[in-house]
Amino acid sequence: MNLLLATAPTVVFNPTLHYRYTDVGEVLGYLQRERPDWRFRFLDGLVVPVESAILREIVQGVDGLVLFSDVATAPATRRLATLANQLVADLPILVYGKGPLRIPAYFQRPPFTACHVDGDQEHAILSYFDALNGDGHPEGVVQVGGPPAYPGRRLGSALWGWADLEALPLESYRNLAILKKIPFELSIYPSKGCHRGCHYCDAPRHEGDVDRRRLPDALVAWTTEAVRRYRFDCVQLHSTDLAADPEWLKEFARAFVKAGSPFPWTCCVHGNTLTESHMDLMAASGCQRIGLGVESLIFQSNRGFKVSRRRLSQLASYARMRGLRLKGYIMAGLPGQTEYDLLDTYLFCLDQGIEPRVSTYTPFQELEGLDVSVLDQMDLERWDRKSFLVESQAMPVSTVIRMLVRPPDVEDWARERLAELTRRTG
């Protein structure tokens, strides 16, 4: 079996590379380990935005095409699949990623032949192609025009793949990092799953709602070798909430220190889970920066959409004492949020020494259940968490876009804008 994995070329506002390492690299690593006699290749439309290059590879003879898509790349993914189907009429084309999980109706039609809808993506992909080879039935996959899907399966962490870094265009990712002025960072899933179910988030659907974690010793050993061999600047332990399992965190810290603290790392946590003792463990084991979802504070109030102002201030103080950096993920355009709230949240983070990062509230839940004829008429490309800009009196787009782009004077501008708004309303 000769499979080509690809993402469709598309214009992007600000690409996030984490998913290339985790949702493509780790999937490839799993497939290669499970089927060592199959051939796999990955062409990333993000860094080789040339459709003809991908199509040429297809026409030269592959047994199947596996497309990774989110919602924003859905139209480009469908376009690539259509062209591929015109070249090779009976080509199996499976699509997976957060796009098919959010808007399955969009993908459950030709030219796609199969769509991942349930359970772990790597298992779904493997079971689909195994079934095409006459071995069993596909699990967690809807076959277009086929019988109802069998349920998917969640894999124990011992079965997760390690990213196949040779298959990823690392030099192009390194250049993208230089362009974005960020470190060249390897991402890995140390854990998957979140039970919280925030209405706008697709992590529980994608990763499941039960927390599953890699064994710390194996995680440290594999990552140490990957950093050494490919010269990454740091590692993102890409978890919904790394602090959700304190025992695991202790074990990880022990394994990390035993290995000689081999690489700097960053992580994400839930602001209401993180404690001082977590931070002690993190600081002692190579953590450089902790990201937490702030979403938004409420102007002139202690309350926030996710964490309170007091809590945020307390966490900032704990982090300062331990030399840890905090990054605060802010959402612009949340229902009920005002421009005051957004500016104030941004400035409060800065004043507390928290690095603010703004993305746009993107109401994916509103896409659910929409008919495909409606989805076809929508501008899905803006559903990318970065550029979903909706003009309103309470939240002008000009403010949001300035915070997304972060020009050098953004802090002064935000202070002046908040002062001006406050003066206007007395």
Applying CB under 6 A, the residues found at the interface with ligand SF4 are 194, 196-198, 201, 203-204, 240, 270, 293
| Least CB distance to ligand SF4 at residue 26 (A) | 18
Are 36 and 102 in contact, with CB atoms under 8 Å apart? no
| Least CB distance to ligand SF4 at residue 188 (A) | 17
Nearer to ligand SF4, 201 or 347 (CB): 201
| Least CB distance to ligand SF4 at residue 421 (A) | 28
Nearer to ligand SF4, 132 or 201 (CB): 201
Nearer to ligand SF4, 75 or 304 (CB): 304
SS (H, E, C) the chain: CEEEEEECCCCCCCCCCHHHHHHHHHHHHHHHHHCCCCEEEEEECCCCCCHHHHHHHHHCCCCEEEEECCCCCHHHHHHHHHHHHHHCCCCCEEEECHHHHHCHHHHCCCCCCEEECCCCHHHHHHHHHHHHCCCCCCECEEECCCCCCECCCCCCHHHCCCCCHHHCCHHHHHHHHHHHCCCCEEEECCEECCCCCCCCCCHHHHHCCCCEECCHHHHHHHHHHHHHHHCCCEEEECCCCHHHCHHHHHHHHHHHHHCCCCCCEEEEECCCCCCHHHHHHHHHCCEEEEEEEEECECCCCCCECCCCHHHHHHHHHHHHHCCCEEEEEEEECCCCCCHHHHHHHHHHHHHCCEEEEEEECCCHHHHCCCCHHHHHHCCHHHCCCCCCCCCCCCCCHHHHHHHHHCCCCHHHHHHHHHHHHHHHCC
| Least CB distance to ligand SF4 at residue 63 (A) | 36
| Least CB distance to ligand SF4 at residue 97 (A) | 16
Nearer to ligand SF4, 286 or 328 (CB): 328
Rg (CA), the chain: 22
| Least CB distance to ligand SF4 at residue 207 (A) | 8
Phi then psi dihedrals of residue 325, to 5 deg: -95, 145
Nearer to ligand SF4, 55 or 198 (CB): 198
Nearer to ligand SF4, 227 or 290 (CB): 290
Nearer to ligand SF4, 138 or 293 (CB): 293
**DSSP assignment, residue 148?**
P
| Least CB distance to ligand SF4 at residue 306 (A) | 8
| Least CB distance to ligand SF4 at residue 200 (A) | 7
Nearer to ligand SF4, 198 or 372 (CB): 198
| Least CB distance to ligand SF4 at residue 193 (A) | 9
Nearer to ligand SF4, 294 or 418 (CB): 294
| Least CB distance to ligand SF4 at residue 270 (A) | 5
Tally Cβ neighbours within 10 Å of residue 39: 12
Nearer to ligand SF4, 240 or 285 (CB): 240
